[in-house]
Amino acid sequence: YFVDHNRRILYWNQGAERLTGYAREQVLGKSCADGVLTHIDSEGNCLCRTGCPLEASMQDGKAREAHVFMSHAQGHRLPVWVRSATIHGRGSEVIGSVQVFSDDTDRLQTLHRLREMEQTALVDELTGLGNRRYFDRAINASLEAHARHDAEFGMLLIDVDHFKHFNDTYGHAVGDKVLQLIARTLMHNCRAYDTPTRWGGEEFAIISDRITAKTLHAT
């Protein structure tokens, strides 16, 4: 769509109608800042009042692009990729702007799937703690911080005694609940910058950053 220097919509094509649900006659002559399209960012901030990429393009003449959300005529939010550029008159003055936008749903769905895959790869399904792979990442990060900045850290290894006998006596379902209870206990008693993980089986490991030998003696 095209807007003039007051951001009043002058042109609205069929692609814009299809994506937004707004017919041309519903938007022509209206300002895009009047809440017709209601562009917002991923944090929920309304860009029509502050941070509008289209308006910014008209102010400095530079093209812009952004991943934002737009209000659909049926009331739901539509993820879109917008690209804005200025329109110049016969001289060098800016007389308006054009914004091209496309459906961004596929990109968001792909990002969501990647986050799910990453979470599945790093989180122990039974306890919700970080798994062995997550522990490896965390311990490497702590070792790197120690090498670069001499940052001290500690590590605790926790093993549940006689767990095999417990499983054989009461069954694996009860054993799983015990592991979950232990995991919740660790999570609720660790500091914000401690990293509790399930090492494997009935073994747990905690990486404790920002701790020194003096701290341990004090506790």
Strand stretches in the chain, DSSP E: 2-4, 9-11, 64-71, 77-88, 94-103, 153-159, 194-200, 203-209
162-185 residue pLDDT tens = 999 989 999 999 999 999 999 999
Question: Residues 144, 121, 113, CA angle at the centre, nearest 5°?
Answer: 115
| Residues forming the active site | 202
Name the token pair of 94: 């800016």
Quote the Cα angle for 80-86-88, to 5°. 155
User: 20-69 pLDDT, tens per residue?
Assistant: 999 999 999 998 777 778 888 888 888 877 778 888 888 888 898 989 99
pLDDT, residue 218, reads 53
Q: What pLDDT does residue 77 have?
A: 87
The two tokens of residue 11 are 């042109």
Predicted local distance difference test score (pLDDT) of residue 192: 78
Write the single-letter amino acid at 58.
M
pLDDT in tens, 60-102: 888 989 899 988 888 888 999 999 999 988 878 889 999 999 9
pTM of the model: 0.55
